[in-house]
Structure 1
Amino acid sequence: MKLNLSRREFHLASAHMLLASSAGTLLLGASGPAAAQARSVKLGTFGAIDAQNYIRAKNMAAKTFGAGTSADFVTVRAGSEVIAAMAGGSLDMCNIGSSPMMVGYANGLKASMVYVYKNIVDSECLVVQGNSGITTVAGLKGKKIGLPFNTSVHFAAVAALKTAGIGLADVQLINMRADQIASAWQRREIDASYIWVPVLPRLTEDGGKIIFKTGDLNKNNLLIFDGLLVRDEFKQKSPDLVLAFLKDYEQIARTFKQEPKEVVETMTKFLNVDEAAVMRSLNTFYPVPAREQLQSHWMGKPGEKDTGVLKTLQTQAQFLLESAQISAMPKDLSGLVDSSFVAKMAA
């Protein structure tokens, strides 16, 4: 398995990547000489049902960051794009899976996770062809499993196989982009897939059967999550903007869970998607309140070393090393996790 971002590739990608800002970028700073003094924040979004797009859809950027701050929303397609953009300074904050986040950190990216963006429970699952007769993970021996490498589902798939006593030599993992999986599934070129929403429901609607959910790994003390990654330079320069986003994120997360009808109406119009797609995202969205994140099971208090997040990152780093996605284990993973903002929110 080839390392996606070597140190050389890491900086080349940063230099050459063209990340277009999404339509509707909000320029909220003042005009004239004062504009030069205005602050800015470059916020990433995967173009999905997320807090960033909700802020855009509701024109909340001025409320969130202040009228003197220009908010640029940058659309990304993969965790590797987030890492490369942050390395090049063209992105300040974005949610990202822990696997690409770890690859970036191991390659020297100066950024840290400040918040558990969401707990991954059933938005990522292992699904098998309905006529395969497979009912357990152990039944995958000798089968072809399609999934995108260097992602949270790659890590979860290997962990799931291990729980069933299945080694990597016992199955055929096939590296496929998420947008390739549905067509490969329809052609019956793969026996199973470990993938996320919205691809997942397309497979189950085509006869697929879910046999394992990422949340099942919690029984083995593994937490699979998306984190909010922030460029260290931006975090040090504008900590108030980071905190402002996190506070609004918590409110938006509550809205997602408590007022789904309003969210569906807003996001279907903004993203031009159907209501069912929005509801699937809302039904598989599990935020973790700041007070809960301060517990040792999650990020823990500032400076705490023996936490669930750090243990999971340690396990993930070992997986990335063994699969040649990083060349060496980071010496100190605590530099990747900063719970000081969570502590301020919970105070």
Structure 2
Amino acid sequence: MSTISRRIVLLSSAALAGAAFLGPADAQDLKITIGYQTVVEPSKVPQADGAYESATKAAIDWRKFDSGADVIAAIASGSVDIGYVGSSPLAAAASRELPIQTIFIVGLIGESEALVARNGAGIEKAADLAGRKVAVPFVSTTHYSLLAALKHEGVDPKSIDILNLRPPEIAAAWARGDIDAAYVWDPALGQIKTSGKVVLDSSQVAAWGAPTFDAWIVRTDFAERNPEAVRDFVKVTGAAYAEFLAKPDAWSVTSPQAAKIATITGAKLEDVPQLLRGYVFPTLEEQASDKFLGGGTVKAVEATSAFLKGQGKIDAVLPDYSEYVSSKYVSEALASN
């Protein structure tokens, strides 16, 4: 899959050095800082239930971020151990050789990310964006999808006033009438759709050859010190996805699962079931296969990096991205079931 997610982070040697290697952690005293985003997906349920703390026997500091670029910056500084990012910021970070590993593919993005135009703006397709103000979080999956859509439609990005705004800023700018359109995810997506219409979504962009995905990543040094904790994090996440995939209709608007997801993400409760259908969630078995962490994800990150370089968003594409993707933890999670 492919994407851009939330602003390119310049990784200095000082930032990388800031993550000093620590000795083995005592499981009883383990502390994990996890950077999450407000995306509607199944792992928000075990997050709300405290299941991650129970499985890892660790004290977890859950920190909310508005974009993948912000998550990457926090991981680079050493202040976050495990983080949720889109494929575009992931590719940008790997291309800058940030010491990270992709440990779980959240899902392929579809209707859950979309380009919305203000009602009455006269924007029916991507070509109508010329001369308009369009907001998107830079280096996010939606930024990647926007650029890919413009390329497909033969629209010069320079003909559009593209503004770099985080999702909460997009919602505020929309309310003020400062922008004509925006490409974003929930809860901001749901907010702007109340007075706008969807021009296209990421399922359409994927069909044009530019798919995107979200993923959980881990700092390499943290994973090396705490492999069991990373395995257990993946196992809990996979169990949540398996529960949803087994009975997706049970996660209805009246379900406790939907209520927990709405509370964690800020999405409208009535929108949660539909938003869950906006992703294609792979099982743990699929995660470990050649389609994803066993090979396909490496190719997807490389392809995304090549696109970003072509757009001038990164300086170079690495010859090999395999060290930034690991199937070790999903395989161990499967073996421990």
TM bucket (normalised to shorter chain) is 0.7 to 0.9
Give the 3-state SS of the residue equivalent to 2:139 in structure 1. Answer: coil
Aligned partner of 1:204 in structure 2 is 193
Q: CA deviation at 1:263?
A: 1.0
Relative contact order, higher structure (CA 8 A, sep 6+) = 2
Q: Give the aligned residue type for 1:121.
A: G
- Match of 2:138, SS state, is coil
CA contact (8 A) 2:81 2:219 kept: yes
Structure 2 matches for 1:59-208, cutoff 5 A? 59-66=50-57, 69-206=58-195, 208=196
Aligned pair partner of 2:10 in 2, 6, 9: 6
Q: Distance in 1 between matches of 2:106 and 2:225?
A: 22
Q: Which residue of 1 aligns with 2:207?
A: 219
Aligned to 1:43: 34
- The structural deviation recorded for 1:249 is 0.9
Partners of 2:137 and 2:165 within 8 A in 1: yes
Query: How far off is 1:14 after superposition?
Result: 6.3
Mapped to 1, the partners of 2:137 and 2:67 lie a distance apart of 10
Determine which of 258, 267, 276 is the counterpart of 1:264.
258
Query: Residue 186 of structure 2 contacts residue 267 of structure 2 at CA under 8 Å; is this kept in 1?
Result: no
Deviates more, 1:255-264 or 1:123-132: 255-264
Output the CA distance in 2 between the equivalents of 1:198 and 1:43: 20
Alignment of 1:227-242 (within 5 A): 227-242=215-230
> SS of the residue aligned with 2:34?
strand
Q: How far is 1:221 from its partner?
A: 3.6
Give the drift of 1:114.
1.5
**Which amino acid counterpart does residue 30 of structure 2 have in structure 1?**
R
Task: Give the letter aligned to residue 220 of structure 1.
Answer: W
- The size of the alignment, in residue pairs, is 318
Determine the C-alpha separation between the residues in 1 that align with 2:213 and 2:194: 26
Q: Map Cα deviations across residues 85-140 of structure 1 (whole Å, 9 max, x no partner).
A: 22233322121112222222233311111221122111110112222333222333
> Which structure's CA Rg is the greater one?
1
Are 1:298 and 2:292 an aligned pair?
yes
SS at match of 1:330: coil
Amino acid corresponding to residue 63 of structure 1 in structure 2: S
| Alpha-carbon distance, 1:13 to partner | 12
What displacement does 1:155 show?
0.5
Question: Relative to 1, partners in 2 of residues 1:310 and 1:48: Cα closer, same or farther, differing over 3 Å?
Answer: closer
Q: 1:189 to 1:10 in 2, by over 3 A?
A: farther
CA RMSD of aligned residues (A): 3.1
Q: 1:40 to 1:51 in 2, by over 3 A?
A: farther
How far, CA to CA, are the matches of 2:50 and 2:173 in structure 1?
39
What SS is found at the alignment partner of 1:101? Answer: helix
Contact 1:197 1:280 in 2 (8 A): no
Assess, with a 3 A threshold, how the Cα gap between structure 1 residues 264 and 107 changes in structure 2: closer, same or farther: same
Q: CA deviation at 1:79?
A: 2.0
TM-score (norm 1): 0.79
Of residues 136-145 and 110-119 in structure 1, the stretch that sits farther from structure 2 once superposed is 136-145
Give 1:148 shift. 1.4
SS at match of 2:12: helix
Specify every segment of 5 or more residues in structure 2 that has no aligned partner in the other structure, as ranges: 1-6, 20-24
1:7 is paired with a residue whose SS is: coil
Residue deviations 1:219-267 (CA, integer Å, cap 9, x gap): 2343301111011112222222212111211222244535420213444
Structure 2 letter corresponding to 1:318: A
Cα deviation for residue 346 of structure 1 reads: 5.2
Q: For the residues of structure 2 that align with 1:340 and 1:181, how far apart are their CA atoms?
A: 38
Judged with a 3 Å threshold, the aligned counterparts in structure 2 of structure 1 residues 48 and 10 are, in CA distance, closer, same or farther, namely farther
Question: Residue 230 of structure 2: SS of its match in structure 1?
Answer: helix
Give the TM-score of the pair, scaled to structure 2: 0.81
Q: SS of the counterpart of 1:251?
A: helix
**Equivalent residue letter for 2:222:** F
Range with greater deviation from structure 2 (280-289 or 210-219): 280-289
In structure 2, the partner of 1:19 is none
Q: Is the 8 A contact 1:47 1:53 kept in 2?
A: no
One-letter amino acid of the structure 1 residue matched with residue 284 of structure 2: A
- The change in CA–CA distance for 1:194 and 1:266 in structure 2 (over 3 A counts) is closer
Q: 1:342 aligns with which of 325, 330, 334?
A: 330
**Displacement after TM superposition at 1:4 (Å):** 4.3
Q: 1:41 to 1:190 in 2, by over 3 A?
A: closer
Unpaired segments ≥5 residues, structure 1? 16-33
Secondary structure of the corresponding residue to residue 131 of structure 1: coil
In 2, the alpha carbon distance for the partners of 1:158 and 1:127 equals 15
Residues 259 and 137 (structure 1), Cα distance of their counterparts in 2 relative to 1, 3 Å cut: same
